[in-house]
């Protein structure tokens, strides 16, 4: 089977799939297809470490494998975990907080280590079993400044080493201003390792330092826990509690920012994190500048500075202080040029040297750099265009939700609940623009020699892109007709049917694309293997008739899998919409039968 046959067979088979790219969710409701900006639901985590789910601000996601936490939720989780440890181990809440902080807020880890060797844990963390009181004297000497103070102006940790309030404040304040390490603060005495708890910090510091400490304490719950992360959006204070192994790594925060749990870059399905990292690095690397310089400039023969020639004859003069004059073609001194070397627009020396192969390596290198740059530019421009289109679509979605929907409801005399299909269309556009954007990064790193995979990829990408453009056109341009009409439009229900249908069709195109790319275009390999197996059987004595019969059977199966059971309908070849048999034009894409 040749590569074109393989590609065409895969193109046919790719349209047979109905599974959604949310990994197992086959719900046709668009609220489960992409990010739901309005829905919230309770989601109880089964985390054995006691990371319990709060009762508010739970973000509804298609695979429901994460929970969004605000600061109150985090504080509540901390208090619950501290209560558990304090109750089970019969220790104070302050000591429980120190233990949890040391073991990265893992309740199970604290319990395991404590019951395995309590003495070792106490020594490691700095928790003394018996608190040592301050000496019973009217005056005590501070261990830092060595001044004598009344007993009521001295304080000590569980170890009993006395220090004056002023020295305590300076010691703790310095540690707090140095960063989160203040959470593991120990007694100032060099020979002592007693832990300093939150109660002492609250008692001995001013409001600013106390606020910083409490902030570090709150953030430690997220930053020290492998299953929680802060949303990376600038200015966002939400955290994410992620259920490992629960499905997609894509997270949509309550602030509407979508990101990948694994690499914390923006959401990038169906492209893997490694490809995204390479692509982002390439976009920001100096290597592309060097490629451009190599492809579009030549070095001055004297000072070696790169020079771009954008107009004029072949006579080049380098910039001061070099001022060397040379021929652009052969890079020889201009003083040796003139009419005898071909004049100002040609160079006999260059042509002769080129024929002898003198410039082969240089020209090849420059040509390769130029081709590489053109290829990169092709993919980058389309990546960036879809990024900007997605941003505009997000703005349009916001306008639709806040302004246009109410206006359309008045114009068309329809309740807003009946106009949900428009919001669903825009949500689909936003998600599809994101997916399409990253397919160009995927395409850039697809090996050039894998022609069949490249053909299959471009076919799936082209189908998805054309479907998205039809949907975007309908939601953006055709919608304006009904928004600006004087009164209810007779054909508004037809518009509803068309837009909802295009939304569904576009979803199908993109689920095929995402599934194929996440599988590494494995269908190409499987079809190629089938083709090789078929060829081996034919060489083993199969007749032409047998081969024809098998090929016919394959086509029949492919056709039957795509056939519509209801004989009163026909399937559009362009968008797969099921039209009534009497119609000659597709009601969805307006293409003739």
Give the pLDDT of residue 113. Answer: 94
Residue 496, beta-bridge partner list: none
Distance from C-alpha of 553 to C-alpha of 297, rounded to nearest angstrom: 59
Domain that holds residue 330: 287-358
pLDDT at 558 over 50: no
Q: Residue 411 is part of a domain; what is its CATH number? A: 1.20.120
Among 264, 214, 248, CA closest to 74: 214
Question: CA geometry: angle at 187 spanning 182 and 190, to 5°?
Answer: 115
- Same domain? For 368 and 353 the reply is no
Tokens of 404: 């246009």
Residue 382, domain member (yes or no): yes
The per-residue pLDDT for range 139-182, each reduced to its tens digit, is: 899 999 999 999 888 999 999 999 999 999 999 999 999 999 99
- Same domain? For 344 and 371 the reply is no
User: Confidence class of residue 88 from pLDDT cuts 50, 70 and 90?
Assistant: very high
- Same domain? For 413 and 370 the reply is yes
Query: For the residues 498-512, what does the mean pLDDT come to?
Result: 92
Q: What percent of the chain has pLDDT over 90?
A: 39
pLDDT at 551 over 50: no
Distance from C-alpha of 266 to C-alpha of 245, rounded to nearest angstrom: 20
User: Confidence class of residue 568 from pLDDT cuts 50, 70 and 90?
Assistant: low
| HSE toward the beta carbon, residue 267, CA cutoff 13 A | 22
Residue 9, domain member (yes or no): yes
Give the pLDDT of residue 534. Answer: 53
Rg of the chain, C-alpha, whole Å: 35
Contacts for 42-47: CB closer than 8 Å, 24+ residues apart: 43/67, 45/241, 45/243, 46/243, 47/227, 47/241, 47/243
Question: Which of 60-64, 280-284, 369-373, 463-467 is the most confident on average?
Answer: 463-467
> What are the start-end ranges of the E strands in 244-320?
250-252, 258-260, 297-299, 306-308, 315-317
Question: Which of 183-187, 279-283, 316-320 is the most confident on average?
Answer: 183-187
Question: CA geometry: angle at 295 spanning 291 and 299, to 5°?
Answer: 100
Give the pLDDT of residue 316. Answer: 84
- Same domain? For 447 and 539 the reply is yes
What residues act catalytically?
A: 313
Distance, C-alpha 91 to centroid of its chain: 43
Distance from C-alpha of 279 to C-alpha of 376, rounded to nearest angstrom: 10
Number of folded domains that form the chain: 2
- Same domain? For 446 and 542 the reply is yes
279: left (phi over 0), alpha (psi -120 to 50) or beta: alpha
Q: Position of tokens 């969805």?
A: 588
270 upstream amide cis, omega within 30 of 0: yes
Give the pLDDT of residue 352. Answer: 54
pTM (predicted TM-score): 0.64
Query: For the residues 83-92, what does the mean pLDDT come to?
Result: 94
Q: Given 331, 358, 385, which residue is the final one in a domain?
A: 358
Distance from C-alpha of 186 to C-alpha of 44, rounded to nearest angstrom: 37
Distance from C-alpha of 90 to C-alpha of 183, rounded to nearest angstrom: 22
Listed range (67-81, 333-347, 361-375, 430-444) with the worst mean pLDDT: 333-347
Among 194, 188, 199, CA closest to 125: 194
């Amino acid at each position: 089977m040749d590569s074109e046959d393989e590609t065409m067979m895969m193109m046919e088979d790719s349209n047979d799939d109905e599974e959604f790219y949310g990994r197992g969710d086959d719900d046709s409701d668009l609220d489960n297809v992409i990010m739901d900006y309005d829905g919230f639901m309770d989601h109880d985590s089964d985390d054995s470490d006691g990371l319990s789910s709060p009762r508010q601000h739970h973000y509804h996601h298609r695979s429901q494998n994460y929970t969004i936490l605000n600061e109150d939720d985090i504080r509540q989780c901390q208090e619950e975990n501290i209560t558990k440890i304090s109750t089970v181990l019969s220790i104070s809440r302050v000591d429980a907080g120190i233990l949890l902080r040391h073991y990265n807020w893992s309740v199970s880890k604290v319990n395991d280590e404590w019951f395995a060797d309590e003495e070792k844990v106490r020594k490691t963390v700095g928790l003394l079993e018996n608190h040592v009181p301050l000496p019973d004297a009217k005056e005590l000497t501070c261990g830092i400044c060595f001044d004598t103070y009344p007993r009521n102006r001295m304080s000590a940790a569980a170890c009993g080493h006395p220090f004056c309030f002023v020295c305590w404040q300076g010691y703790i304040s310095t540690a707090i201003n140095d960063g989160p390490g203040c959470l593991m603060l120990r007694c100032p005495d060099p020979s002592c390792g007693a832990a300093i708890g939150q109660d002492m910090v609250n008692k001995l510091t001013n409001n600013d330092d106390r606020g910083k400490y409490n902030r570090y304490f709150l953030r430690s719950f997220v930053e020290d826990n492998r299953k929680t992360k802060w949303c990376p959006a600038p200015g966002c204070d939400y955290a994410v509690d992620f259920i490992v192994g629960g499905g997609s790594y894509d997270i949509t925060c309550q602030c509407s920012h979508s990101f990948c749990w694994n690499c914390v870059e923006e959401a990038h399905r169906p492209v893997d994190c490694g490809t995204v990292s390479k692509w982002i690095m390439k976009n920001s690397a100096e290597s592309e500048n060097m490629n451009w310089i190599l492809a579009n400039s030549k070095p001055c023969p004297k000072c070696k500075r790169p020079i771009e020639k954008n107009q004029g004859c072949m006579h080049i003069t380098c910039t001061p202080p070099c001022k060397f004059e040379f021929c652009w073609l052969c890079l020889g001194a201009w003083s040796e040029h003139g009419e005898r070397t071909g004049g100002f627009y040609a160079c006999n020396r260059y042509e002769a040297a080129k024929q002898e192969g003198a410039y082969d390596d240089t020209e090849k290198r420059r040509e390769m750099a130029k081709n590489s740059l053109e290829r990169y530019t092709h993919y980058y421009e389309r990546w960036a265009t879809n990024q900007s289109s997605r941003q505009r679509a997000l703005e349009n979605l916001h306008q639709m939700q806040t302004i246009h929907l109410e206006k359309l409801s008045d114009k068309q005399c329809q309740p807003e609940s009946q106009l949900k299909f428009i919001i669903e269309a825009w949500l689909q556009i936003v998600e599809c623009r994101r997916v399409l954007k990253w397919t160009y990064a995927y395409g850039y790193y697809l090996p050039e020699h894998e022609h069949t995979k490249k053909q299959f990829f471009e076919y799936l990408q082209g189908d998805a892109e054309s479907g998205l453009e039809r949907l975007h056109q309908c939601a953006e341009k055709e919608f304006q007709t009904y928004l600006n009409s004087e009164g209810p439009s007779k054909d508004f229900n037809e518009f509803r049917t068309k837009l909802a249908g295009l939304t569904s069709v576009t979803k199908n195109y993109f689920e095929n694309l995402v599934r194929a790319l996440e599988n590494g275009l494995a269908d190409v390999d499987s079809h190629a293997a089938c083709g090789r197996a078929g060829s081996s059987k034919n060489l083993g004595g199969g007749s032409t008739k047998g081969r024809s019969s098998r090929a016919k059977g394959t086509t029949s199966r492919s056709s039957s899998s795509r056939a519509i059971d209801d004989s009163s309908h026909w399937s559009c070849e362009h968008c797969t919409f099921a039209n009534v048999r009497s119609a000659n034009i597709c009601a969805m894409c307006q293409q003739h039968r």
